[in-house]
Structure 1
Amino acid sequence: MGRGRAKAKQTKVARDLKYQTHETDFGALARELHGGESADDRAEVPDEWADLDERSRD
């Protein structure tokens, strides 16, 4: 007894997840998982060293 309402709710949530389309930002996910630097975290690089800095990030 009492399981009917909970089971109906679970079924509704499962159906919504199955048929709803989600836009996933894979770039943001990759940055989060790999500990990517945000623009605020990067150190200032003098212009003469900028090309070396860009190559080191690849």
Structure 2
Amino acid sequence: MGRGRAKAKQTKVARDLKYRTHETDFGALASELHGGDSGKKDDPVDPELLEKWSDVIEPSRD
């Protein structure tokens, strides 16, 4: 017992999601998913950090 109120609320939310018009900013979504401009690969690496992890990280073979 007591499921009627919960089911009514779920139905209300489902109808709201189904029929409401959504204004989606696809540009913002794409930049969020791809990391935006903050994930540059050309960032300088601290030499002390490289020395600290040099025995763990194998050198890249390019």
TM range (shorter): 0.5 to 0.7
Provide, for residues 9-54 of structure 1, a one-character-per-residue CA deviation record: whole Å limited to 9, x for no partner: 000000000000000000000000000116xx88xxxxxxxxxxxx
What does 1:1-58 align with in structure 2 at a 5 Å threshold?
Answer: 1-37=1-37
Q: Return the alpha-carbon distance in structure 1 between the equivalents of residues 37 and 28 of structure 2.
A: 11
Large movers: runs of 4+ above 2 Å: none
Higher helix share: 1
**Normalising by structure 1, what TM-score?**
0.63
CA RMSD of aligned residues (A): 1.7
Q: Provide the aligned length of Structure 1 versus Structure 2.
A: 40
Unpaired segments ≥5 residues, structure 2: 41-62
Aligned partners of 2:30 and 2:16: how far apart in 1?
26
In the alignment, structure 1 segments of 5+ residues that lack a partner are 43-58
